[in-house]
Amino acid sequence: MTIYYDILDKFTSMLLEDEGINTVTNGLLDEIAMNKHTSYGLGHFMINSFTMNKTFNVSVTLYLMDIVYDNKETDEDNLDDVLNTTLAIATRFLDRMRRGDVRLEQFALTGSPSLVPFKERFEDDVAGWEITFDIEVPKNMTIC
C-alpha cells in the first residue's frame, strides 16, 4: 500500500507544474522551510487525517505563499499581487482535482474547499492562502 506516498508525489508534481510555484514542501506547519534560501512561490501541504470506510477520506491543508516586498520610497507593497497570484494557483490546482486528470487517475475532490488569506503568519514576510479540502482515495488493498 502506497497511498500516502502517492498523495505526496501527485501533489508535489501538480504544484511544481504551475509556473507560480518554485518550491514544494510537506509535513507539519513548523517544517515549512522559511529562510532566505527558499525560492518563492512556495507550496506546502499537510495531510491532516485519514478516515477509513470503503475508501480513504483524506483531509489536506495546502499553503500557497509568496514573499511580500515593501517599497520604502513609495510606501507600497505587492500584497495584493501576491494574494491574487496565489489565489490563481489555488484555483488551477483545485480545478485539476475537481475535473482534470487527477480525478480520473486516483483522487476525487469532495465537498467545498475552504480558502483563507493570510499575511505575516511565518518568519519571512509572506502572504498567500491556506486551503483546506478533502479528497477521496480508493483503498486498493486486498483482503488476505
Q: Dump pLDDT digits (tens) for 7-56.
A: 999 999 999 999 999 999 999 877 675 655 578 999 999 999 999 988 89
Q: Quick one: cell of 118?
A: 493570510
CB half-sphere exposure, 96, CA atoms < 13 A: 16
Cα separation, 109 vs 98, whole angstroms: 5
Q: What is the mean pLDDT of residues 54-59?
A: 91
Q: What is the mean pLDDT of residues 137-143?
A: 69
pLDDT value at 143 more than 60: no
Cα separation, 99 vs 123, whole angstroms: 35
**Per-residue pLDDT at 104:** 47
pLDDT digits (tens, 9 = 90+) for 75-120: 788 999 999 999 999 999 999 888 866 554 678 889 999 999 999 7
**Per-residue pLDDT at 79:** 92
Q: Quick one: cell of 24?
A: 514544494
Domain 3-138 has CATH 3.30.70: yes
Locate the domains of the chain by residue range: 3-138
How far apart, in Å, are the Cα atoms of 62 and each of 66, 71, 121?
Answer: 13, 29, 14
Q: What is the mean pLDDT of residues 63-69?
A: 93
Count of all residues that appear for the chain in the document: 144
pTM comes to 0.87
Cβ atoms of 127 and 121 closer than 8 Å: no
pLDDT value at 129 more than 90: yes
**Per-residue pLDDT at 99:** 80
Amino acid 140 reads: N
Q: What is the dihedral of CA 13, 91, 24, 136, to 10 degrees?
A: -60
